Structure 1
Amino acid sequence: MFRPSQPVLDIAGTLVRLGLAAVWLVSGSIKISDPGQTYLAVKAYEILPSALVHPVATALPLLELALGVLLLAGLLTRITAVASAVLLVLFIAGVAQSWARGLAIDCGCFGGGGKVAQGQTQYPQEIARDVGFLVLAGWLILRSRTRLAVDGWLRAGEREPAPDEPVSEAERI
């Protein structure tokens, strides 16, 4: 069976980490630059009580930017990937419930958002895209070791096991 080498896995992980960082940085930047539209997007889901729409619309882009910066730096990669996965599952659930309830909205994932004309929704594409991002987060949860990461520099002082020394599953990741 083919097993990619450690350097290949590290490079792939780096690309995954940087790709997911880009998603959060772009999404958060667009949302924070137009807070009114972000408010309309959050409100359009018709899930939250009115008192929570503004705090969520304010916090969401800040959370996305924080996740993006942490992933870009490669700091707390596994924890950040778990937080990313949770947020993506919430996004998928939000879009799915909108679709199931017959709401006609744009998800607002990368700006815009809010009500749209009936038939102008793209729910399957939005869910598929977020599932793809969830796969990236899953990779980093299972294998957070990447190159050019603060996490790696912090671990640099840790002793590498000898080639014939048994290694636990947790240490392999």
Structure 2
Amino acid sequence: MSVVEASKPTRGQSFWLDVVGTVARLGLAAVWLISGGIKAADPAQTWVAVHAYRVLPEMGVEVVAAVLPWFELALGVLLVIGVGTRLVAVLSGLVLLAFMAGVTQAWARGLYIDCGCFGGGGEVEPGATQYGTELLRDAGFLLLAAWLVVRPRSLFALDARLSPEGGS
């Protein structure tokens, strides 16, 4: 038996890895659908949240506030149906890293803002920020994305029907 054959998961192990992948895929989809839906429902508040970070010129704030909710919703839908899972996971990871960088720079600069990740956003009272918690939460979401980059295969995904490798 070769090293490659010995490292391949058994049928039972593969099933459980697929279950973990399904939970990761649907969990990350829920994050994007909820956050994108909340932002899409209140574009004015999304603008306030993006503006509060004080890193973009006005035109940049306009563009990000207008596009971000729909991009998040698109990521969520693609993950729910399981199409392009690895690519969507890579894009998710990049967006999460950008969000984490935004929160980190706001914290480092002493800004008092609500991240606006799941609605709300904008300036808050000193001491009302939860930067550490927000970064830990996003790190957890980043782990879901990383799992799907490494092993995109999951149950009930269209990737399995669209690719000869079964979505892996």
Q: Scaled by the length of structure 1, what TM-score is found?
A: 0.88
Q: Could you list the runs of 5+ residues in structure 2 that have no partner in the other structure?
A: 1-8
C-alpha displacement of 1:105:
0.2
1:117-156 matched pairs, under 5 angstroms: 117-155=125-163
Match of 1:164 in 2: none
Match of 1:52 in 2: 60
Match of 2:3 in 1: none
Match of 1:86 in 2: 94
1:99-118 matched pairs, under 5 angstroms: 99-118=107-126
Alignment partners' CA distance in 2, 1:23 and 1:122: 18
Q: Which runs of 4+ in 1 moved over 6 A?
A: none
Amino acid at match of 2:19: I
C-alpha displacement of 1:52:
1.1
Please report the RMSD computed on the Cα atoms of aligned residues, expressed in angstroms.
1.5
State the identity %: 55
Cα deviations by residue, 1:87-111 (Å, 9 ceiling, x for unpaired):
0000000000000000000000000
Q: Scaled by the length of structure 2, what TM-score is found?
A: 0.91
Alignment partners' CA distance in 2, 1:38 and 1:126: 17
Match of 1:27 in 2: 35
Alignment partners' CA distance in 2, 1:115 and 1:133: 24
Alignment partners' CA distance in 1, 2:142 and 2:106: 19
Cα deviations by residue, 1:15-44 (Å, 9 ceiling, x for unpaired):
110000000000000000000000000000
